[in-house]
Structure 1
Amino acid sequence: MFSRKAHAPIRTLVGDSTVLRGELRFADGLRIDGEVQGDVLAEPEAGSLVVISEKARVHGKVKAAHVIINGSVCGPVTSTEMLELQPKASVVGDVHYEVLEMHPGATIDGELKPLKATERPALTLAAANDA
């Protein structure tokens, strides 16, 4: 009923033992398992995907169409389509989003700012699975 768009293919990987210093620009999809000390920016932004895994750390701004975070980000996050904050996500910085899905356990130390000023921002709280 609520189908999601197909994700951009992940063509770039920052491995778990990697520390990258400086601005990281990417196209399509990016997965970060290591540490990035600098901004993570999608070019072009439309249709892009960045996945920040549970072990990953980003110290800088993150900007892409679809952003999935389960690690930590120290800096502002901008998602022009969908922002998913998974249970172990930690964001210290302002969050700009079109649609936000936040799982229990995720934390934000900053302001939530919808990209379009609407009466009711598109905010979804992910329910725990009833297994």
Structure 2
Amino acid sequence: MFNSKKQPSIRSLVGEGTVIQGTLRFGDGLRIDGEVQGDVVANVNDTSILVISEKAKVVGTVKAGHVIINGTVIGPVESNHLLELQPKALIRGDVRYESLEMHQGATIEGALTRLNSGGNAASAALEDKKSPKLLAVGNDK
């Protein structure tokens, strides 16, 4: 299902120890190991992949096609293809996704809303009214 399109390669890196302030726009793929204080947004017409590693932190909006999170995001997250939440992921904000894969230990403190195939927010809002709000909390060890 997800292998029908070729995955873009990661061409950019925000390295560990780096802090970026302001909006970060990217095409293809981006990996964040450092900190971004601002929005991280993929180019609209590109197939994109964003990896937020275990050591990374983003304070702002995150918006891309395929999003993989194992770090911290303080702000809303939108993935119009696949959102993967790995065990150390922490999101404090609302989450909008087309498809969701969530590992045990990942935490979301916000509302979950599924987008329809076209990413139409009105249809997603109607669907959201039918389903309960979820708060997913990982195991504290």
RMSD value over aligned CA atoms?
1.6
Contact 2:38 2:58 in 1 (8 A): yes
Contact 1:46 1:64 in 2 (8 A): no
Match in the other structure for 2:30: 30
**Unaligned 5+ residue runs, structure 1?**
121-131
Match in the other structure for 2:88: 88
- 1:43 matched to 2:46: no
Percent of matched pairs sharing the same residue: 61
Give the number of aligned pairs: 119
Question: Counterparts of 1:1-131 in structure 2 under 5 Å?
Answer: 4=3, 5-116=5-116, 117=124
Once the two structures are TM-superposed, the CA of residue 67 in structure 1 deviates from its matched residue by 0.2
In structure 2, what is the Cα distance between the partners aligned to 1:58 and 1:68?
Answer: 13
Contact 1:49 1:67 in 2 (8 A): yes
Secondary structure of 2:30 counterpart? strand
Deviations 1:50-95 (A, max 9, x none): 0000000000000000000000000000000000000000000000
Please identify which structure carries the higher strand content.
1
Secondary structure of 2:54 counterpart? coil
TM-score (norm 2): 0.79
Return the letter of the residue paired with 1:79: S
Structure 1 outlier segments of 4+, above 4 Å = none
**Unaligned 5+ residue runs, structure 2?**
117-123, 132-141
